[in-house]
């Protein structure tokens, strides 16, 4: 058998951490719904003492996700937000974080409305220009936090350029890789220290469980995060771990279809007379199309488009039948949403205006249904405008 690093992505997704159960030969990882473990004597046990600290189903998922992102280890949490909270809990009061200004709305909500009350400082810049990151660094800056592509405006940040700055200034670089999944983008290979995902999205892929993961390039960070799992307790249940282990087996196959259909839907939208603009890195007129080709191995299936007004967006969203009007993304089903009133409502009107999120924007996460059905559904819904 080849070493894990030498195996192809789809093989790792199915086999890393997912080896047959040594006790029975079961080909799927068993769910261990136990809170505690019998010990043979004082301090004598089989590696597991209490499930907040560790659980065998969780261990397997953590091995699998580390293998997919190319990290030394990963730690899973109860949701993407719990994972992000754990990352920032590695800092101390008085530390400063430079963040992208177009993040998933829940992230600045956590930073500004919760963590700044504990003395952490955050500033927000357009990280699509690496110089903005450098300019925002202060004496007390410890971390740079980016999403690429951003949510929902699909702006890219040059991870190699930003990681060069972070190395020089001795800052941790954290990348939220939820939109691309490790199948299309590998931030650790580009110099990031930590990669975070909402596993709720593409990694699980079936819209049936929440979760979050942090994948680490250095063991020291994995150890700190394991301590935070134990100390703060926002861990993922064995059943949810198992759902992700099952979902991730088809990640490579799903991402291929997501990407293929994403390109078709983006092309369709960009020529539709009712659509006033399309944000998708796979389009040649996307301002960072060249960077997208260099940094990612596919363009994915997240597309945002402009309908012109809240009224138009509402009219079209009421008409969809194959696409489901819902928060979230990355499931097998096509999910369509309205960032201004859903994912980015917490930013407030002023916050949204400052970064260009208009009331007419609609975001689509193209699923793996027959693409012609998705196109017909969108065409019909757009005709209603
Ligand atoms: C890019 C991104 N990061 C993080 C999160 C938060 O993840 P969760 O909803 O699992 O807490 C989301 C949720 O939509 C997201 O889109």
> Tell me: the pLDDT tens digits for 74-100?
999 999 999 999 999 999 999 999 999
Tell which one of 78, 81, 185 to mutate to probe ligand 1, the residue whose CB is within 8 A of the most ligand atoms.
81
380: CB partners within 8 A, 6+ apart: 319, 321
CATH number at residue 354: 3.90.1150.10
Q: Do 236 and 256 fall within a single domain?
A: no
- 198 neighbors 69 (Cβ within 8 angstroms): no
Q: Do 38 and 74 fall within a single domain?
A: yes
Q: Do 233 and 125 fall within a single domain?
A: yes
Domain boundary (181, 216, 248) is at: 248
In whole angstroms, how far apart are CA 355 and each of 74, 125, 165, 311? 32, 10, 24, 21
- pLDDT digits over 12-46, tens only? 999 999 999 999 999 999 999 999 999 999 999 99
- pLDDT digits over 99-125, tens only? 999 999 999 999 999 999 999 999 999
* Cα 211 to averaged position of ligand 1 atoms, centre (Å): 9
Q: Do 276 and 226 fall within a single domain?
A: no
Domain count within the chain: 2
Average pLDDT over residues 363-382: 98
Burial of 24 (0-12, 13-18, 19+ CB in 10 A): exposed
Q: What is the pLDDT of residue 346?
A: 85
Q: Do 237 and 260 fall within a single domain?
A: no
Q: Do 191 and 219 fall within a single domain?
A: yes
Active-site annotation, residues: 52, 104, 176, 201
Distance, CA of 346 to chain centre: 19
The rounded distance, in Å, linking the Cα atoms of 364 and 16 is: 31
* Cα 210 to averaged position of ligand 1 atoms, centre (Å): 9
Q: Do 170 and 312 fall within a single domain?
A: no
Domain boundary (225, 248, 271) is at: 248
Share of the chain above pLDDT 70, in %: 100
The rounded distance, in Å, linking the Cα atoms of 333 and 208 is: 11
Q: Do 292 and 339 fall within a single domain?
A: yes
Q: What is the pLDDT of residue 6?
A: 85
Q: Do 260 and 350 fall within a single domain?
A: yes
- 31 neighbors 245 (Cβ within 8 angstroms): no
- pLDDT digits over 266-282, tens only? 999 999 999 999 999 99
* Cα 149 to averaged position of ligand 1 atoms, centre (Å): 13
- Domain that includes residue 100, residue range: 4-248
Domain boundary (196, 219, 248) is at: 248
Tell which one of 87, 105, 106 to mutate to probe ligand 1, the residue whose CB is within 8 A of the most ligand atoms.
106
* Cα 167 to averaged position of ligand 1 atoms, centre (Å): 27
What atom in ligand 1 is closest to the CA of residue 179?
A: 1
CATH number at residue 100: 3.40.640.10
**Is the CB of 79 inside a 6 Å radius of any atom of ligand 1?**
yes
């Amino acid at each position: 058998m080849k070493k894990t690093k030498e195996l192809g992505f789809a093989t790792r997704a199915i086999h890393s951490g997912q080896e047959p159960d040594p006790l029975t030969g079961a080909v799927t990882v068993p769910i261990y719904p136990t809170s505690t473990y019998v010990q043979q004597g004082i301090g004598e046990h089989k590696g597991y003492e209490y499930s907040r600290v560790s659980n065998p189903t969780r261990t397997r998922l953590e091995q699998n996700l580390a293998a997919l992102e190319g990290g030394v280890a990963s730690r899973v949490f109860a949701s993407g937000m719990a994972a992000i909270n754990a990352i920032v809990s590695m800092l101390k009061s008085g530390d400063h974080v430079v963040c992208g200004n177009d993040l998933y709305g829940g992230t600045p909500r956590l930073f500004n409305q919760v963590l700044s009350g504990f003395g952490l400082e955050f500033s927000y810049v357009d990280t699509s220009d690496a110089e903005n990151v450098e300019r925002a660094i202060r004496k007390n800056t410890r971390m740079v936090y980016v999403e690429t592509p951003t949510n929902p405006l699909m702006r890219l940040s040059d991870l190699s350029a930003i990681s060069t700055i972070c190395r020089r200034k001795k800052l941790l670089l954290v990348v939220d890789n939820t939109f691309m999944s490790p199948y299309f983008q590998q931030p650790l290979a580009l110099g990031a220290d930590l990669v975070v995902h909402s596993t709720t999205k593409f990694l699980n892929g079936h819209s049936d469980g929440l979760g979050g993961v942090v994948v680490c390039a250095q063991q020291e960070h994995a150890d700190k995060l394991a301590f935070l799992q134990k100390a703060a307790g926002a861990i993922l249940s064995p059943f949810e771990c198992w759902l992700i282990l099952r979902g991730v087996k088809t990640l490579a196959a799903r991402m291929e279809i997501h990407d293929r259909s994403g390109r078709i839907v983006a092309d369709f939208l960009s020529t539709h007379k009712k659509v006033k603009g399309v944000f998708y890195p796979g389009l040649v007129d996307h301002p960072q199309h060249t960077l997208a080709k260099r940094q990612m191995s596919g363009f994915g299936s997240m597309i945002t488009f402009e309908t012109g007004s809240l009224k138009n967006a509402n009219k079209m969203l009421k008409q969809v039948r194959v696409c489901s009007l819902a928060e979230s993304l990355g499931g097998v089903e096509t999910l369509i949403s309205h960032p201004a009133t859903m994912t980015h409502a917490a930013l407030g009107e002023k916050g949204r205006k400052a970064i260009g999120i208009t009331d007419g924007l609609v975001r689509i996460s193209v699923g793996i249904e027959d693409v012609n059905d998705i196109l017909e559904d969108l065409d019909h819904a757009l005709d209603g405008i």
